[in-house]
Structure 1
Amino acid sequence: MATYFQRLFLCAMTIGKKISFIILSHGGNRIKQLSVPVSMFLLLALVSICSVTILGFVLLDYHGLRQQVAETGRMAQRMVDQQNEITQQRLQIQSFAREIDTLKESLVRLNRFEEKIRVIANLDPMAEDDNLFGVGGATPEDLDPQLELSQGHEDLMRDMHAQINELDSASHRQQSSFGLLLKKLEGRNNLLASTPAIRPTSGWVTSRFGYRTSPFTGRKELHKGMDIANRKGTAIMATADGVVSFVGNKSSMGKMVVIDHGHGMVTRYAHLSKTLKKSGERVKRGDIIAQMGSSGRSTGPHLHYEVQLNGVPVNPAKYILN
């Protein structure tokens, strides 16, 4: 305790004193004396010490800040790289998904094609398991951005592989079904050639088979065929092999050609502008038999096409494969 007061007393005693600096000129002829109070000297020393200390802290903070900026830059680059990787993987998965969808559509078209062949060949419909195959699952849009990249990607790829396996199984079932179908069709060449299977003309369908409001009476009535519109003079083709059983006019139907294909199958072509075959002539599928017109009761150039099975009109769309 005494030592502390002694130091305090010494400091107080030196406050009024000065420190003198003698400055000599280069030649030593002139002498200058600079006196600085001890208190000012101590103050300058204290300021210098504080300044050096503060500068040291600033330099340390600056170094730490530089490290933080560098680490932030590295993190930002990692995020950009990860985002680029996610984008690349998403593009790959989208391409993969499009290929799966294309394969699905192809299998569906084959499935429907087989159904039509079975109808035309008068065969039993496909088994339920073969006819209704369902393939569904996740898509690239299901990739949750909140999940880790590897986890979300692995889940999606696992689901898509399951879809591919199901499609592969469906493809094998389809091949097996086609094989059985071909065996059943062997020896039925005459029946197939005599069954309507193509579009009778080009153009667009303006009215389908079924009940509709008549454009002439305004009442609902059964439309027994399919109307296909196009320019007057458009070629009309036989849709299957057969014998022309009628050529002439039939009141509201106008000029008409009827073909008997055997096996209870008959096709009728009405509203023609010109007929090119005679009754009794044998025709092949694809032969041009007439030209489109607007004869009879008609609102414009079109073909009225009917398919009859054992005298009963049936939907012609079921007998068009092309």
Structure 2
Amino acid sequence: MRKKIKIWFHSGATSDIKEFSIHKAVLGFISLISISAIAGASFIGYDYLQLKKISFNTGILDQTIIEQNNEIKSQRSQIQSFAGEIEILKKQVDSLSVFEDKVRLIADIKQTSDSSGLIGIGGIPRDDLDQDIPLEKKHNNLMREMHQQVGQTNLAAKKQALDFEHLIKMLEKKRNLLASTPSIRPVDGWITSKFGYRTSPFTGRKEFHAGLDISNKSGTKIIAPANGRISYAARKMYIGNLVVIDHGHGRVTKFGHLKKILVKQGQQVKRSDVIALLGNTGRSTGPHVHYEVRINGTPVNPLKYILN
């Protein structure tokens, strides 16, 4: 068997044919080296491509992480803003509740249900809103707490709306009563004698003073403290010129020692209408108006019915 392989070649059409002989073992070795080199180059090339792919994917992942971190900070900022809005909403609901209580006190309307429901709801800790805290840390608890507070505040707001609706209905019913309730000063001036027991300037004895004496210049205008009807407008012994207003609902006001009466019996008047001029008629020690408030015939302290 031949152990050599002959190879003939020529470089051109007119050149001589040259012959080479190569041993089979050498040719096999060269072939093996060539195949190994090709395989090694292919492996290195494949490995290089994989490394480039991994590097590319790593760059994308790094960019994704940066974007997610920015999104986390943005979410924290939004949550912090949302928490602030929740606190503002809670304060507004509380303010409405306080306002409702004041209106009910003035109008003498009792609360028919429990409070607004915001009592006991704490604020969101500021530390939980730190934008640098990892999203997974305290995030679930924070979101759960905010969700709970939003729910409670929403229920409180709905209840407050129902309370106001009930209050409006009650105020409608009491509107005539409120309009007929004395609530303002009948005249500006100085209080020279209060309601209650005093020493009489005429007898020197202790006696009950059923009204309030307010002094000012003679001729100062006197106004009605509430809506009503003039039930008396004439001169009367001791108290001089007298005007009595029947406000309905058992409420009556009296004005004595007037210089001049400007209304007539049976006339309807409204709060702030001028009804007379301050004077010194009847048994009096100087220009003033004797002002009385009576509820179901019983004199009460007029100061309790002066809000201005």
**Structure with the higher helix share, 1 or 2:** 1
TM-score by length of 2: 0.48
Q: State the TM-score, normalized to the length of structure 1.
A: 0.46
